[in-house]
Amino acid sequence: MAEGFSDKGGMGLGEDAPLSDAHLKQILEALKSNGDYVVLTKSEYAALHKPVSTSTPAPKRPLTDFIRASQAHDFSLHPSQIQVPKFETPKLPYFSGDQPPLKGDESYAVCRFETKCLISENLPEQVILQVIRRSSRGTARRTIISLGEHASSVVILDKLDILFGEVSTNESVMQSFYNASSENVTAYGCRLEALLQVAVESGHVTVAARNDMLRSKFWTGLRDEKLKILTRNKYDSISDYNTLLREVRSVEHELSASSNISASVNAAQQSTPVDKKTIDDLTGKIDLLMNKMLSLENRYRRSQKETASSSNNYFSRNRYNYQRRDGNYQSYNQQRPR
């Protein structure tokens, strides 16, 4: 019997007497000191017998979702208790700055806009720098290398602005804006907006004046006089540029549809004389062939008559001899009965 235990129970207690905390602690210490036993709590035991999950891993989410969620997270917990999900690193379009551009390159204006959007989302600086480095190649990448590994995203963007950004003066930008002419209404409107945005960013044009300038230049620059006449009442009644752009596009679509129908009708009408001419040519060739066949047939009939006439003359003019039974020959003229 173990030392310290009585005959009726452990450590001098009765069979029905509950163990105190001190007695339980003494028993646990004895088991731990023995080395052959491992003492687990109820929660630890349940965790060991928890079945392993074999479900499909959750899809990746944008990194910005984790950044926003982490701002409200309680970091007082132990690091082992924090579950960090898998997130997808954002991407920027490729840009090299080479001339001619490399395959897959976007314009610097597009890349600059995407980079500023990432910066505005309060992403970590390390993530933004990694995305910029991955999207840069060619001349742009060599420029980033020359800035060093400690350059911030703002420093890199400023350097790229110097090399590839808009360098036109405000006067030249506004001159290009007012000299712009229309092509397709959508492309024309986008080009005007891009030109005026440069002047807005440089401070030459205020945001408040942007709508009136776009509205006036957009309608007055339309080349199609028919489209301009049909949209004159809309220009007078609509003060918002975007609404005017949508209405002009609608009229342009209707004009394009009607012109396509007219072109189809004209093509069908023009094809008729061509087909009639072809038929007339074929008819003339057939008539010529028939005349030649009739001529050959007449010549053949005349040759047949001439052959029959010559045969008759031959039999009427030539004399034939025949041998009599007595061995003497006698000649006679053979004439065919008429």
pLDDT digit string (tens) for the chain, length 338 residues: 444 444 444 444 455 567 788 888 888 888 777 767 777 777 777 777 666 555 555 555 665 565 555 555 554 545 454 454 455 678 899 999 888 888 989 999 899 999 998 888 888 888 899 999 999 999 999 989 888 889 999 999 999 988 888 877 777 777 877 777 666 888 888 889 988 988 888 888 888 999 999 999 999 888 888 888 999 999 999 999 999 999 999 888 888 887 766 666 566 556 555 567 778 888 888 888 888 888 888 887 888 777 777 766 655 555 444 444 555 545 544 444 44
The CA-based angle 171-172-176, given to 5 degrees, is: 120
Q: Parallel, antiparallel, or unpaired for β 319-323 and 61-62?
A: unpaired
For the question of whether the overall pTM of this predicted structure is more than 0.75, the answer is: no
| Helix residue ranges, H only, the chain | 21-34, 42-48, 63-71, 108-120, 125-135, 139-147, 153-164, 170-179, 185-201, 207-220, 225-230, 232-237, 241-317
Residues 287, 302: Cα–Cα separation, whole Å: 23
Q: Which amino acid is at 149?
A: E
Q: Which residues pair with 319 in a beta bridge?
A: 333
Kindly report whether the peptide bond that precedes residue 100 is cis, defined as omega within 30 degrees of 0.
yes
Residues 14, 94: Cα–Cα separation, whole Å: 82
Neighbours of 144 (CB within 10 A): 19
